[in-house]
Chains A and B, each alone.
Chain A
Amino acid sequence: MNSLLLTVTARVLLPGFLIFSLFLLLRGHDLPGGGFAGGLVGSAAFALFGIANGVEKLREVFNIDTIWLIGLGLFLAILSGTFSLFLGDPYLLAIWYELPFFEYTIKLSTPLIFDIGVYFVVIGVVMTIFFSLQEDN
C-alpha cells in the first residue's frame, strides 16, 4: 500500500502500541488486560506496520521465527506450572513473591510467567498466519 500517511502513522504508532500491549499484559491480573489482550494488541501493531510498510520492512523489525515464538510461549506456560512441584504442591499452583520497590510493591508470580507465555503464543500465532499470507507471493 502506498499511502504516506498510513506508512508514517504506522511507524510512529508501532512503539506506542507495543508499550501499550506490554502495559495490558502486566496489569492484567488486577485490571482489564492480560496476556491474550496484550498479545492481540501487539500483533495488531505488527500487522498494521506490515500492511503499511510491506512485509520486508516488517521482517526487519520483527526478525523472529514465529513458530519458534509459539514454542517459547508454550514452554513458558508449561514451565510456570512446574515451580510449585518443587514445593510439593500440585502442578500449576500459583506462587507469589512481592518485591518491594521504593514505596510500591511489585507482584511477581508464576501466573505472570504463564501470562507472558500466553502473550508470546498469541503474537506467534497471529504473526505466523500473517506472514504465511503475506509472504506467499
Chain B
Amino acid sequence: MLATTIVALCSSFLTKLFGKKAGWILALGPASLAIASFDLFRRMSQEGPFSSFASWLPDIGFNIAFHIDGLGLLMSMLICGIGTFILIYGGGYLKGHEYLGRFFVCIQLFLVAMVGVVFSDNIILLFIFWELTSLTSFMLIGFTHDKQESRMAALHALLVTGAGGLCLLVGLVILGLGAGTFEISEMIRNGYQVTAGPYGTAAFILIILGAFTKSAQFPFHFWLPGAMAAPTPVSAYLHSATMVKAGIFLLARFQPILSPHEWWTFTLMTFGAITMLWGAFLAIKKNDLKQILAYTTLSVLGLLTVLLAFPTPYAATAFAYVLLAHAMYKGTLFMVAGIVDHQTGTRDVTKLSGLFRSLPFTGISVALATIAMAGIIPTLSFIGKEIALEGLLKEGPAGAALATMTAMASVAFTFVALIFVWTFFANLEDKPKYKEGYPSLLIGPLCLSVLGIVLGVAFPLTQSIVHTAMVPMLGDAAYPDLALWHGINLPLMMSLGSVALGVVFFISVGKKPWSLGEESLRHLALAPRFEAVYQKTLKLALKGAGILQHGHLRYYMRTTVIGTAALVILSLVVNQIPMPETDFKTLYWHEVAVFMIIAIAAIAATMVRSRLATIACLGIIGFMIAATYVMFSAPDLAMTQVLVETLTVILFALVIYKLPAYERLSSKGTVTIDAIISIVFGAMFTLLVLASSTTRWAETISVQHGDMSWVEAYGRNVVNVILVDFRALDTMGELAVLGIAAVGVFALLKYRRKKKEPML
C-alpha cells in the first residue's frame, strides 16, 4: 500500500515517461493489491484477521492501527480490482489530455485513501483517510476546472461530504471516549454498544450523518448526480463503485456497535427506502446516460442502507452480494456510457440507437451488464436480489413493505436496463457510424460484465468470501444457503413480476422523455437550495471579514495593541500577581544612564519630523538594549542585537529612500489617542516584566540547559547549543518563516515593478 502511495505521487512523471501506455503500467499497482487481498482472504480463513499497530500520538489515542478483516478485504478487493480497470480505462479515455498525469495522481491517491478507510482500525486514522477520499474526490470532480458547472459540483460534493466528515469525527470521538479505546476492533471485542456510553444518541446521530452524506442518502443525495460532471472514469469509480460505498461500509463496520440503538433500524430503513425509491423514480426520467446511472446508483445505495437496518445473516449476505454485483454491472455501464460519449459525442439516449453495429464489443458488455442490472438469472445480482427479498420478507410487515419497494425499484432497474439495450440493439439495420473504442477502453467493461455472470453461475466461489466478510459484522452465525434456483417462491415471483412490469412499462412509454410533474419536481430539487444557502453564508462571511479585515494597518495595530494590553492587565488584576519590592539603591550609575538614553530616544522618535531621524532614534534604542545585554553578561544576545539593529537601519534607510516626503497626516485627536494607547501599552509591559520576576510556575530550565550543554552537546556556548541542538526543530521552523518572509518581500516588490512596466 505504501508502494502504491509512492507510485501515485510519482505517477505524474511516469505518465510523461510512458506516454500513452501509462494507464496499463500504473494498473499493475492496484492489480497486485487486489491479488494480495484475494490471497489474504484465503489465509484469513485459517488464521483469522490480521492487525498491525504502531503508536503515533498515544496521549490522544491516535495510533497507526490497521485491522484487516473480511469486510475490509471484500471492500479492498472491489476497490483495487475495479481500480485496475479504471486506470487502464482512464488512460484510454483521457488519452492526450494535458492533465492526464494529474488524473492518475488523484485517482491513485484516492485508491490508497479508500484502502486506508477500509483497513484502518483507529478511528482518528479512519477519519483522516475518510477526509482524504473527500478531498481527492473534490479534485477529481472538478477535474475539468475550466467549467463553471464542474467547479460548482465539486464544491457541493466537498461541502456536503466535508460537513458530514466533521460530524463523523465528533461522533467517533464521543464513541471512542465512551468506549475507553479508539480502536474499533477493541470496541467490538469488548462488546461495546453506543447506548452504554455518555451522549450515545448524539454519537449515533453524528456517525449516521457522516455515513449518509458520504453515501448520498436522502436528503443529501443531490451532490451525487451533480458529481457526474467529473470525467467518466471518475464517475464510474468514485461515484458508483467505491467512494459512495464508504458511507455504507462505515455503517456496516459500526453495525455491531450502533445497531443496539433503538433508532438504528428505523432510521436506516426510512432513509434507505426513500433514497431507493426517489433514485429509481428520477432515474427513469432522465435522458443523459450518466445521469440515469447516477440515480440508479442512488437507488442501490438506498437498498444497501435498508439491508443494513436489519442485523440478520440474511440481510448481511444480501448486502454483500448486492455490493459486489452492483460494483460490477454499474462499473461496466458507467464505462460504457463513457465509451458512447467518447465515440459518438453524446450521451442523450433520445439521440442514440443501434450502436451495436458500431460498437460490437461495447455492446456485448452492455448485454451482459444489463442482464445483471435487471437482476435476471444467472447473475450475481440475481442472487443478491433474491436473498435481499427473502431476508426482508422475514422481517414482518415493515420488511414486507420494504420488499415491495425493492421490487418497485427493480422495475425501474429493468426499465433502465432496457434503455441501454434499446440504445444498442434497436434499429440494427442502420449503417455503422462510429468507431469502436480502443482496447484500453474495452477491457474494463468486458472483464467486469463477464465476471458478473461467471461469478453468478459459479457462486459457490463467492460464498466463502462473502461469509468471511460477514464475520466482523455478525460473528459466526448461520448463513443462508445460496442457490441460483430456489424453486418457485415469493421472492422469485416478485422478481419476475418486477422484470415483467419493467418490460411492459418500457414498451408503453418507450424512450420518450415523459413530463409528469416536471414543475413540481423542480421545486423538490435540492441542489439549487443548497447553492442559495451556500451563497448567503458566503455573503455573511464576506461582510464579517470586511468588518474585521478592513485593510488599514494602523487600525490593525491599534486592535492588536489594545487587545493585548486589556487581556494582560485583566489577568494581572484577576490573578492578583504580586509586584516585586524594588530597591533602587542597587542600581549603578551606568545602568541609569543607559535607561535614560533609551527613554529619551523613545520620546524623541515620536517627536522628530523626519523619517531618518525616527529610525536613528529607534536605532539608538536598539543599541542601548544591546548594551543592557552586555551589562547582564549575555554577549551572544548583545552581538546579535547589534547586528540586527545595524541591518535594520540599513534596510530602513533603503526603504525610506523610496517613500514620498514625510508629512503629518494625523489629526491632533488621533495623535492623542495613539499616545494614550502607547502609554498604556508601555505601562502594561512594565508591569508584566515586573510581575514575571515574582511569578514562577515551574523550575527554570536555564540551569539545566547550562549543565547539559557541555555534557550532552559538547558546546560551551549555551545559547548556540540551544539553537542548533536542544531546540533545533524550533530553529528550523524559524528558518522556514524567515525564508517565507523573504520570498514575500521579494514577491511584493517585484509585483509592484511589473505593474509599473506598462506605464513606462
Known: A34-B636, A94-B725, A128-B742. A47 touches B650 (CB 8 A): yes
- The answer to whether B643 touches A41 (Cβ under 8 A) is yes
Q: B644 on the interface (CB 8 Å rule)?
A: yes
B650 cross-chain contacts in A, Cβ below 8 A: 44, 47-48, 51, 130
Is there a chain A Cβ closer than 8 Å to B721's Cβ? Answer: yes
User: In chain A between 72 and 122, which residues have their CB closer than 8 angstroms to a CB of chain B?
Assistant: 73-74, 77-78, 81, 91-92, 94, 96, 107, 109, 111-112, 114-115, 117-118, 121-122
Complexed CA–CA distance, A92 and B654 (Å): 38
Q: Min CB distance, A127 to chain B, in Å? A: 9
Residue numbers in A under 8 Å from B97 (CB-CB) = none
Find B717's partner among A33, A41, A70, A124 (CB 8 Å cutoff). A33
CB pair B716 A29 closer than 8 Å: yes
The answer to whether residues A30 and B738 also contact, given A44-B643, A130-B654, A132-B746 and a CB cut-off of 8 A, is no
Residue among A30, A51, A67, A126 making CB contact with B746, cutoff 8 Å: A67
Q: Is A134 an interface residue (CB 8 A)?
A: yes
Which residue of chain A lies nearest to B646 when distances are taken between CB atoms in the complex? A44
Residue B635 CB within 8 A of the other chain: yes
Is A133 engaged at the interface, CB distance under 8 Å to the other chain?
Answer: yes
A133 near B742: Cβ-Cβ < 8 Å: no
User: Could you tell me if A67 and B743 are in contact, using CB atoms closer than 8 angstroms?
Assistant: yes
A107:B714 contact, CB within 8 angstroms: yes
Contacts of A43 in B (CB 8 A): 647
Interface size class on chain B is 35 or more
At the interface, yes or no: B749 with Cβ under 8 Å from chain A? Answer: yes
Q: How far is the CB of B155 from chain A (nearest CB, A)?
A: 34
Most buried by B among A36, A112, A128, A129: A36
Q: Does A13 contact B (CB under 8 A)?
A: no
User: In the complex, are the beta carbons of B639 and A32 less than 8 A apart?
Assistant: yes
With beta carbons under 8 angstroms apart, the residue of B640, B651, B717 that contacts A31 is B717
Contacts of A128 in B (CB 8 A): 742-743, 745-746
**Bound Cα distance A94, B725 (Å):** 7
Docked CA distance A132–B720 (Å): 30
> Smallest Cβ distance from A94 to chain B, in angstroms?
5
- Chain A residues, Cβ within 8 Å of B753: 136
Interface contact A66-B742, CB-CB below 8 Å: yes
Which A-chain residue is minimally distant from B723 (CB atoms)?
A34
| Complex contacts, B724 vs chain A, CB 8 Å | 28-29, 34-35, 111-112, 114-115, 118
CB-based contact A29/B714 at 8 Å: yes
Which one of B654, B720, B741 lies within 8 Å of A34 (CB-CB)?
B720
- Name A residues whose Cβ lies closer than 8 Å to a Cβ of B: 28-37, 40-41, 43-44, 47-48, 51, 66-67, 70-71, 73-74, 77-78, 81, 91-92, 94, 96, 107, 109, 111-112, 114-115, 117-118, 121-122, 124-126, 128-130, 132-134, 136-137
Residues of B whose CB lies within 8 Å of any CB of A are 635-636, 639-640, 643-644, 646-647, 650-651, 654-655, 658, 713-717, 719-721, 723-725, 728-729, 731-732, 735-736, 738-739, 741-743, 745-746, 749-750, 752-753
Which 5 A-B pairs give the minimum distances between C-beta atoms? A40-B643, A132-B749, A125-B742, A30-B716, A111-B724
Given contact pairs A71-B739, A126-B651, A129-B651, enumerate 10 new A-B contacts (beta carbons under 8 Å).
A29-B717, A30-B717, A35-B724, A44-B643, A51-B650, A70-B738, A114-B724, A118-B735, A124-B739, A128-B745
